[in-house]
Structures are given as C-alpha cells and as structure tokens.
C-alpha cells in the first residue's frame, strides 16, 4: 500500500501543489458536513422551494460580475494574494452570516457575498496547477476530492447531534466550525504558498494598468478559445456539469427529506456512503485509469450517474435501502466524471492566458447556469422529482459531448486560419 500511486504522489508533492493539497481538508471537511443540511436548514425558517431556487439564481447572477473580473484581479494582485483576500471574503464572512441567519434576507445576503468565490476559483486553480508537472494533475485532483471525503468519518455523528439538539442548532454549530477551519486554511495556505512564475510575469505586465483596462484584451483571448476545439468542448461540459451540480446540491436533501420521507436524523448516513464509495474508487480504480485518456472513463462515470438518479427518483417513500443503492452508485461514479473532468479542463487551456481564459469560461458557465436555480425551484414546487429529471437530461448531453470530444481528439480537424 505504501507504493500506491496516490500515496507516492502525496509523498513527493512540493511547492504550491503541496500547500494546496495538505490544507484542503480544512475547507473540504466543514463544507461537506454542512452542505447536506443547507437547503433543509432554509426550509426550517419557513422558506419554500421557489425561494430557495431564487436565492441560488441570484447568487449566480452576482457570480457573473466576479467571474468577469476574476482573471484581471488574479493577474494584477497575483495568485497568492488574491486567493487569501477573496477566500476570506467569500467563505469566512458567509459562514458567519449563515450561522446567525433568521430569515430569507440573511440567506440572500450570504449568497451575494459567497458569490465572490468565483475569484478564488480562478486564482486558487492557477496557484495549484502552474509550476506543477502535468502528469501529476490526475492524482492531485484526486487528493483534492479526498480531502473533502474525510468528513465521511464524522458525518454520522452530525445526524446524532441533529436528533439530540435539533436541526437548526446543529447546523448553526456546523457553520461556526466552518468559519474557524476555513479561515485557518486560508491563512495557512498563504504562509505555505509562493507566487507562481506565470503569476509574477502577469503582475509585472499589469502593474501600471487600471483593473478594468486589463479586460480590454478579452477579444484576443476569445479568439484563442474559438480556435481551440478542445477548449470549446470543455466549455460545453463545464456548463452542463455546473447545471447538474447546482440543481443536485440545492434540491437533493429537499427531495430526500420532504418527498422520500427520510428522517433528517439519518440524512448524514448517505453522504457517508457516497464518500466511502468515492474513496474506494480513488484508491482502487483511479490508478488503473490514470494513464488512459479521460474521455472513456468520464463517459462511464456519467452513465453511472444517470442510472443513480433514475434509481433516486424511483425510490418509494421511506425506502432507505433503495436510496442507499442510489447513493452508493452515485459515489462510485462521481470521481470518474468530475475528477477527470477537472484534469481535462486544466490541460486543454492555453497556459499563457490561463487566468483570463478560465475567467471567460467561468463567465459562460454562470450565465448559462444561473437561470437553472430558479427553473429547478419552479419544477420542484410542482413535483420534487422534476429537477432530477432535468439532471438526467444534462448528464446524457454531457456524455454525448464527451464522446464527441474524444472523437475530435482522435481525428483532429485542420487548424483554422485567420483571414
């Protein structure tokens, strides 16, 4: 076991990649502890499905603004400084707001502040992958996911606390825990990290430029994207998988508790099952696919997710065992679909303009995804299974796009010529 590829990679990590991976549990553990309860926590304050969906959409609209600026901010301030400042704003502040929330207004304000995370999505990824050997990226992203899965070993205890102290007091405590652990993570990572080589170049180039003037170079960046079929396919997948994640993350617990009549006391068991299955995949399956191209295992992962959601919406009320099966299959399929997609994203993007390209891609993702929080909320108000039918359609389209991307890679077209 000591010679397992994942363990060897972790042992030999250096530089920013090491700092990002080793500090990630301080973010991943608290996030994965409170995330399953976030939506039913809002229900406890008298909010309805449509209001919850509207908050998700409003948050994404504000993410558009920050995504548009994220590349320029990351280039001007540097990867390291941007990550520290905007991590604290986007996670430390909202977790405190959620912890003391009383009504709809609190959750709306928290969603608006949390939208700032789109800046650190850009800067943190640049900090992680720049100056890192490309062949290590599959293992590095595996460890990033594993960092969050460590919460699986304490998640069942959360259910016990919900049963003893009630949902609202327990979730308030989880948000306070998240504030402490996440803030510690941001400070520690800043101490361990150094500015990347490309980051120093971009800081020098943009030093005397006003922030908004940096955006004027977006035309040339768009041309780079347009002339890169691999990046275009990646953009399509980013949009579809973002829609899937947004709907599932918002409405899964509502479906399970309200429609399938699973007690909130036991809801933490299912993220535990999902996490254990993901860990099994990372340690026993991922080493077998890490040397192959990502498209084929991604298709298998997406198809596995389709089946898991079909089982989910077919689960009779009160049937814990079938929900267990759906959750286990989902957990086994997520690494193949999402971890390999993260690797695909960073390897298909032009390294020189990484920050601005990712900013534009993320902007496209948000613009296309933002209506779906509201749409899914309206669907859920009609029938709580309807949002998951939408998810199934998105996953099938993702599988088709992944297949086409694999064919394009095997039979590349002639590169376009500028007139």
Residue 105 neighbours by CB under 8 Å, 6+ apart: none
C-alpha angle 55-103-154 in degrees, rounded to nearest 5: 80
- Provide the CB-side half-sphere exposure for 30 (13 A, CA): 24
- For the cut 90, the answer to whether the pLDDT of residue 158 exceeds it is no
SS3 132: coil
Residue 108 and residue 55 in contact, taking contact as beta carbons nearer than 8 Å: yes
Of residues 28 and 91, more confidently modeled: 91
Q: d(Cα 201, Cα 199) in Å, to the nearest integer? A: 5
Q: Which of 5-9, 23-27, 223-227 has the lowest mean pLDDT?
A: 223-227
Residue matched to tokens 């990226």: 137
CA angle 59/366/281 to nearest 5° reads 100
What is the model's pTM? 0.74
Q: Name the DSSP letter for residue 136.
A: G
| Angle 56-57-59 from CA coordinates, rounded to 5° | 65
Mean per-residue pLDDT over the chain, rounded: 86
Mean pLDDT along residues 272-278 = 88
Q: How is the chain split into domains, by residue range?
A: 13-205+219-410
pLDDT value at position 1?
A: 58
* pLDDT-wise least confident of 83-87, 102-106, 109-113, 228-232: 228-232
Q: What is the mean pLDDT of residues 138-160?
A: 81
Q: What is the pLDDT of residue 289?
A: 75
Task: Select from 69, 78, 312 the least CA-distant residue to 206.
Answer: 78
Could you tell me what percentage of the chain is helix, strand and coil, using 3-state DSSP and rounding each to the nearest 5? 85, 0, 15
- Quick one: average pLDDT of 133-137? 79
User: How much is the average pLDDT of 163-178?
Assistant: 95
| 3-state SS class at 40 | helix
- pLDDT computed for residue 349 by the predictor: 66
Reply yes or no on whether the pLDDT at 152 is more than 50.
yes
- Helix (H/G/I), strand (E/B), else coil: 302: helix
| Closest alpha carbon to 82 in 52, 117, 112 | 117
pLDDT digits (tens, 9 = 90+) for 353-376: 666 777 788 788 888 888 898 899
Round to whole Å and give the CA distance between 278 and 35: 17
Confidence band (pLDDT; 50, 70, 90) for 378? Answer: very high
**Most confidently modeled range among 205-214, 320-329, 348-357, 398-407:** 320-329
Task: Answer yes or no: is pLDDT of 105 > 60.
Answer: yes
Both tokens of 216, joined, read 């004027």
**pLDDT exceeds cutoff 80 at 177:** yes
Higher-confidence position of 108 and 289: 108
Element spanning 139, H or E: helix 137-149
CA distances from 140 to 153, 193, 220 (A): 21, 16, 31
Averaged pLDDT for residues 70-76:
88
Closest among 145, 177, 180 to 20, alpha carbons compared: 145
Q: What is the rounded distance in angstroms from the CA atom of residue 181 to the CA atom of residue 104? A: 26
State mean pLDDT over 191-215.
Answer: 84
Residue with tokens 């949902």: 167
At 413, is the pLDDT very low, low, confident or very high (cuts 50, 70, 90)? very low
CA angle 153, 155, 159 (to 5 degrees): 140
Return the percentage of the chain with pLDDT > 90, whole number.
47
Average pLDDT over residues 105-130: 93
Residue 416 pLDDT more than 70?
no
What is the pLDDT, as a whole number, of residue 418?
39
Q: What is the pLDDT of residue 409?
A: 59
b or e along 326-335 (b: 16 or more beta carbons within 10 Å of the residue's beta carbon)? bbbbbbbbbb
Q: Is the pLDDT score of 415 beyond 70? A: no
pLDDT higher at 331 or 8: 331
13-205+219-410 topology per CATH: Growth Hormone; Chain: A; (1.20.1250)
Residue 348 has pLDDT above 80, yes or no: no
Give 347's pLDDT tier (boundaries 50, 70, 90): low
């Amino acid at each position: 076991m000591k010679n397992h590829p994942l363990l060897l990679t972790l042992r030999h990590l250096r530089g920013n990649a090491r700092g990002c991976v080793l500090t990630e549990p301080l973010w991943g553990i608290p996030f994965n502890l409170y995330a399953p309860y976030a939506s039913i926590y809002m229900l406890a304050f008298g909010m309805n499905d449509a209001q919850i969906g509207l908050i998700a959409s409003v948050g994404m609209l504000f993410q558009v603004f920050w995504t548009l600026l994220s590349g320029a901010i990351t280039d001007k301030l540097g990867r390291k400084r941007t990550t520290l400042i905007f991590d604290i704003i986007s996670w430390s502040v909202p977790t405190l707001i959620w912890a003391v929330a009383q009504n709809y207004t609190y959750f709306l304000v928290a969603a608006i502040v949390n939208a700032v995370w789109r800046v650190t999505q850009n800067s943190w990824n640049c900090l992680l992958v720049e100056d890192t050997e490309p062949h290590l990226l599959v293992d590095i992203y595996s460890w990033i996911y594993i960092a969050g899965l460590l919460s699986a070993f304490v998640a069942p205890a959360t259910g016990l606390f919900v049963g003893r102290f009630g949902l609202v007091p327990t979730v308030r405590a989880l948000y306070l825990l998240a504030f402490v652990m996440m803030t510690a993570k941001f400070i520690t990572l800043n101490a361990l990290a150094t500015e990347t080589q490309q980051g120093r170049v971009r800081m020098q180039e943009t030093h005397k430029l006003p922030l908004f003037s940096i955006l004027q170079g977006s035309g040339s960046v768009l041309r780079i994207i347009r002339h890169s079929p691999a990046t275009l396919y990646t953009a399509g997948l980013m949009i579809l998988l973002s829609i899937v994640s947004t709907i599932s993350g918002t409405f899964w617990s509502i479906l399970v508790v309200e429609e399938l009549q699973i007690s909130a006391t036991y809801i933490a068991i299912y993220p535990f099952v999902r996490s254990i299955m993901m860990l099994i995949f990372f340690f026993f399956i991922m080493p077998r696919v890490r040397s192959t191209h990502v498209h084929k295992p991604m298709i298998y992962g997406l198809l596995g997710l389709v089946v898991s959601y079909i089982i989910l919406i077919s689960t009779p009320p009160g049937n814990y065992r079938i929900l267990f099966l759906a959750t286990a299959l989902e957990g086994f399929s997520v690494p193949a679909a999402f971890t390999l997609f993260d690797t695909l994203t960073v390897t298909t993007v032009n390294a020189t303009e990484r920050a601005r390209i990712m900013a534009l891609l993320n902007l496209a993702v948000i613009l296309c995804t933002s209506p779906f929080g509201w749409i899914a909320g309206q669907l859920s108000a009609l029938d709580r299974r309807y949002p998951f039918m939408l998810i199934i359609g998105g996953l099938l389209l993702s599988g088709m796009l992944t297949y086409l991307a694999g064919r394009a890679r095997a039979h590349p077209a002639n590169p376009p010529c500028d007139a």
